[in-house]
Amino acid sequence: MQSEAELRSLLSRIDHRGGYPAYKDTKGQYRFPGYVLSIDHVQGDPFASPSKVSVLVSGKTAGFPQELYCGKCQRIALQDELLRQFGRRAERFAFKAKGSGKSGLISVSRCGQEVLERTACQIQPENGNILLRMEIGFPANGRTINARELEKILFDFVPECVKASLFYKNLDAKRLRRIVDLAEDQEYIRKELPKLGLCAFVANGSVLPRESGISSRPMRDGIAFQSPKEQEVTLELPHKGKITGMGIRKGGITLIVGGGYHGKSTLLKALELGVYNHIAGGDGREYVITDATAVKLRAEDGRSIQKTDISMFINDLPNRKDTTSFCTEDASGSTSQAANVIEGIEAGTSLFLIDEDTSATNFMIRDELMQRVIHREMEPITPFIERIRELYENYGISTVIVAGSSGAYFHIADSIIQMDRYVPKDITVLAKKEAENFPQISVPEQPAEKPTYDRVPRPDKAFRGNDRIKMKTMGKESVMINRDTIDLRYLEQIADNEQVAALGYCVRYAQKHLIDGKKNLIQIVDELEEVMQNKSLAELCESTSSVSCMAVPRRQEIFACFDRYRALRLV
């Protein structure tokens, strides 16, 4: 390991050189007061992706009390806050060092409203060491090195960011304690849900509306949530104390109804993202907690389906296509939603979240008139409404449905909530009484046979021993591996584009090391989770120098990514 003086001397020697690649001589580790600076990867020119730099602060120097990172939820919350603190400091210095292209850039992962485990900031639980990764644009004028400007970044700007955000003595101790306490309370609620017979909880006072359709920030002066008395539940949290809110019962069918723009989808969206913890203050959904395995279901016209058993919903197709091992490169709305249900079961979900607006109508219901005109034996689709009770009785899966145009689910719903100007009201008794005047849709006498999940991917020789596999993410929309694009735009519970990067690395890692023609998808996802939990998320990169910015995805999204990977072939 070299000293900071040696780095300064090196920068002085290469200053104003005409060849930008001379910056590559800076690669290595350097000891600075209080931390170690690592230049892990140097960009090829000032217009290329920025250089990757990391800092390592020992636990003794950082000085954070162990109780702030002793458990997983506490550690992730603290990592998240330190990364946000560093990012705010770094923004002040970005591009103050001048030059061409990305010269002077200083950036770290941009965190949203959700608290996620990331490679960008990691705390070692055994000793409190903090590793923070960033990107820096090494300055140049054209292709002429401007090392004096880089010296400003590495010797003035970065040290100030490190000392202000990674040393406990320089931070607001009370604020850190509140952040960690909130994480413990959120984790407590999530663990209490099954004990209380609940699959979700929405605290009174939560602000669910967002400031716009493209923003995750809360609406200013948004109407605070207030639970109907019939669904009210009170919890005693370790730190906040008593908290009251709406409990959504496990094992049943909860229907959310109401007029347009009254908050139905807003409530469902909050439940979708309630699988993650949210930041302290400024979000409004800190105490909206959902079963961690919850899956949002929707139709996905055009998606690929590979050997999925959709016979629970679709049988006797006119073209005699086998629906116990259904394959298509261009699924319809109904077949895609049927596949999403089965794949959700395979991924281990306990809760389905459905919005009528994004569902295939013929998959969700067939009314009495349609059944009289088109007889059951002529219709290959068994609607979701006829299987929904079976999903809980046979698979333990509860369902929350948003409906605005069809009252067909009134008959079978266990709880019916009307959103009235963002205020929920329990109308179960009223709706049931009105439903008595309308015919109830019949339910099949025989339950469907249990779907088979033994889908075994076939190894791809192109990945074996190949370290030059190209991967590119397009926001939260998709990830490209070599020339194959995995379309993820309809996975609405992906909260961050760094989760998409991690999903791409999961596929790449599995292709190289796990897919052998013998393990099924469940076993492969199990092993991927084991790598991320017992080793680290960074292990997926298989790089000794440059680790990509990633955030941990859920098991459900890992399955969904494989299910949408058209290049994957099954035995």
Strand duo 114-115 + 130-136: pairing: unpaired
Q: Are 325 and 342 in contact (CB under 8 A)?
A: no
- pTM above the 0.85 mark? yes
d(CA 451, CA 312): 7
d(CA 90, CA 365): 53
d(CA 138, CA 41): 11
Domain boundaries, the chain: 2-171, 175-246+276-287, 295-435, 461-563
Residue with tokens 């229907």: 255
Q: Collect all residues with Cβ–Cβ distance below 8 Å to 32 and sequence separation of at least 6.
A: 4, 159
Look at the alpha carbons of 427, 433, 436, 438 in this order and tell me if their dihedral is positive or negative: negative
User: 372: which strand partners?
Assistant: none
d(CA 121, CA 108): 9
Instruction: List the alpha helices (DSSP H) in 396-512.
Output: 428-435, 497-509
Instruction: List the alpha helices (DSSP H) in 133-227.
Output: 147-152, 158-165, 173-195
pLDDT at position 438, please?
A: 85
Instruction: List the alpha helices (DSSP H) in 274-422.
Output: 333-346, 361-364, 368-373, 388-395
Q: Does domain 295-435 have CATH number 3.40.50?
A: yes
Q: Are 275 and 414 in contact (CB under 8 A)?
A: no
Q: Are 26 and 15 in contact (CB under 8 A)?
A: no
Instruction: Give the tokens for residue 354.
Output: 């459905």
Q: Are 540 and 492 in contact (CB under 8 A)?
A: no
d(CA 442, CA 419): 28
Residue type (1 letter), 27:
K
d(CA 248, CA 430): 19
Nearest residue to 454 (alpha-carbon basis) of 517, 360, 384: 517
Instruction: Give the tokens for residue 495.
Output: 């909260």
Nearest residue to 66 (alpha-carbon basis) of 227, 180, 230: 180
d(CA 315, CA 164): 63
pLDDT at position 376, please?
A: 67
10-residue mean pLDDT profile of the chain (571 residues): values are 94 89 94 96 93 97 96 97 97 91 94 96 96 96 92 96 97 97 98 97 96 85 94 97 97 94 95 97 93 97 95 89 94 97 97 97 83 73 92 95 92 95 95 89 76 90 80 95 95 97 96 94 97 92 83 98 95 84
> In degrees to the nearest 10, what's the CA dihedral of 148, 150, 153, 156?
-30
Host H or E run for residue 424? strand 423-426
d(CA 539, CA 506): 10
d(CA 48, CA 505): 22
Strand duo 198-203 + 140-141: pairing: unpaired
d(CA 204, CA 502): 35
d(CA 274, CA 492): 12
d(CA 469, CA 509): 11
d(CA 323, CA 331): 13
d(CA 397, CA 409): 17
